[in-house]
Amino acid sequence: MSIIVLKDGRTYRKISRTAFKQETDLQNYVQENPDCIPLYEIKENVQFSVLLRELPLNVGSVDIFGVDSDGDLYIIETKFYKNPDKRQVLAQVLDYGACLWESFGNAPELFTKKLDQILKEKTGNGLRETLESIFSVADDVIEGIERNVSSGNFYFIILMDSIHKSLRDLILFMNKSSQFSIYAVELEHYKFDNYDIIIPHIFGAESKKISEYHIKRKKWDRETFFRDVKDRIDGGTLFEEAYEAIEKLYEFSLKFSDEITWGTGATIASFSPKFYTISRRSIYTVRSDGIIYLNFGYLNDTQNASKVRDSLKENFKKIKDIGTRIPNQVEDRLISLPIETWYSHVDDILSTLKTILNLNP
């Protein structure tokens, strides 16, 4: 496959597909750019991060071990298309999951202690500090990690530079005929001048079914969302002004958005408004613990979405207490704003959203 780049309506250059030189190059790219794995086709409004490379288990080392903001775990194995055992990799990732569950299923807290120790040795920061730096929260994510290890629920992902049809068919069959959640991700790689162009494809999401774990997940609505917010306020983690700020943001979303989708987190409620003239994906997500996720990394499906993303970045950087949390590069980022950083500036946030989204009062 080739990409044709046009300039002023004329052919500018034909770009041919470029191979990653080594599997470690593929792994490095995912570690530095975790959003290249299109998890939005599996789960909506989730932030994913690579937690460890080469996680040691009794049967070998997991190439990439990831976690998302719900505490769901991802066992990722990388292989090149030219590798002769590319179909055997399916058994390999399942073996990792079985080993992880067998070793720690009855004592999942030992697994989080192991992660804590490895992270301290590799980075100097423990598990809690690492999760807080990524998601701004740790307790709920750790709870999710231990729950998933205990029940043996994992997302298995085979990451390759090119996916053979036989492997895709096998994954489709496994997902339809078992309780496993197995996906193959193909990263098409092109180089143009100093740019790396990556086109991700995910296979297996079309046959995703509800597993025992997903049945246990909740489907939130307005009533249960604000009940959870109130419970957290009564517990002393929030306060009345914060409740009112969340309520204002919800009423704004209800009035101006085309759709509000509700999260399915087992312990934390969330809602995500969508403005279809901008993007089919949500611009922001509000959680019942008061954290807002600015979903900059989702706003790349249309040219208008990219323009709105850049405008939101520049204008949010001007808001007190929020601006310092917005980096210069947000194209592949989901930025979290803890409640204490934004509740007193909610009117500025709403005014900014109205202006950038060109909403009528």
pLDDT digits (tens, 9 = 90+) for 134-183: 887 787 888 889 888 988 999 999 988 888 888 888 888 887 777 788 89
| 203, 268: one domain | no
**Residue 295: inside a domain, yes or no?**
yes
Residue-level pLDDT at 235: 59
Q: Containing domain of residue 202, as a range?
A: 23-216
Per-residue pLDDT of 328-355, as tens digits, reads 888 767 788 989 999 999 999 999 999 9
Do 237 and 210 reside in the same domain of the chain? no
User: To the nearest whole number, what is the mean pLDDT of the chain?
Assistant: 85
Domain-embedded: residue 49? yes
Whether residue 280 is found in the same domain as residue 201: no
Same-domain status, 149 and 72: yes
- The residue from 199, 216, 233 where one domain ends is 216
pLDDT, average across residues 63-83: 89
The token duo for 350 is 């709403």
Residues 205 and 130 both lie in one domain: yes
Per-residue buried b or exposed e for 196-209, using 16+ beta carbons within 10 Å of the residue's own CB: eeeebebbbbebbe
The answer to whether position 183 is within a domain reads yes
Do 53 and 39 share a structural domain? yes
Position 209 confidence tier, pLDDT thresholds 50, 70, 90: very low
Say if residues 345 and 319 touch (Cβ distance below 8 Å). Answer: yes
pLDDT of amino acid 256: 95
Cα–Cα distance, 278 to 289 (Å, whole number):
27
In a domain, 267, yes or no: yes
CA 109 to chain centre: 24
Structure tokens at 211: 């597993």
What is the spatial distance between Cα 43 and Cα 52, in angstroms, rounded to a whole number?
21
The DSSP result for 255-304, as a single string, is HH-SEEEE---SS--EEEEE-TTT-SSBSEEEETTS-EEE-GGGTTSSHH
Mark which of 216, 232, 254 sits at the end of a domain. 216
Asked if pLDDT for residue 65 goes beyond 50, the answer is yes
Query: Is residue 178, in this structure, part of any structural domain at all?
Result: yes
Encoded amino acid at 319, one letter:
I
Question: Do 168 and 236 share a domain, yes or no?
Answer: no
The domain spanning residue 163 has which CATH number?
Answer: 3.40.1350.10
The reported pLDDT for the residue numbered 215 is 41
Residue 211 has pLDDT above 50, yes or no: no
* Same domain flag for 199 and 271: no
CA separation for the pair 16, 20 (Å, rounded) = 13
DSSP string, 194-252: TEEEEEEEEESGGG----HHHHHS----HHHHHHHHHHHHHTTSS-HHHHHHHHHHHHH
189 and 311 in a common domain:
no
- Whether 40 is covered by a domain: the verdict is yes
262-275 mean pLDDT = 83
Same domain, yes or no: 196 and 228: no
Residue 13 lies in a domain: no
Does one domain contain both 236 and 212?
A: no
Condensed to tens digits (0 to 9), the pLDDT of residues 1-42 reads 678 878 777 767 778 888 777 788 888 888 888 888 888 888
Residue at a domain's end among 200, 216, 232: 216
Q: Are residues 200 and 241 in the same domain?
A: no
CB 256 within 8 A of CB 357: yes
Q: Residue 5 falls within a domain, yes or no? A: no
**Domain count of the chain?**
2
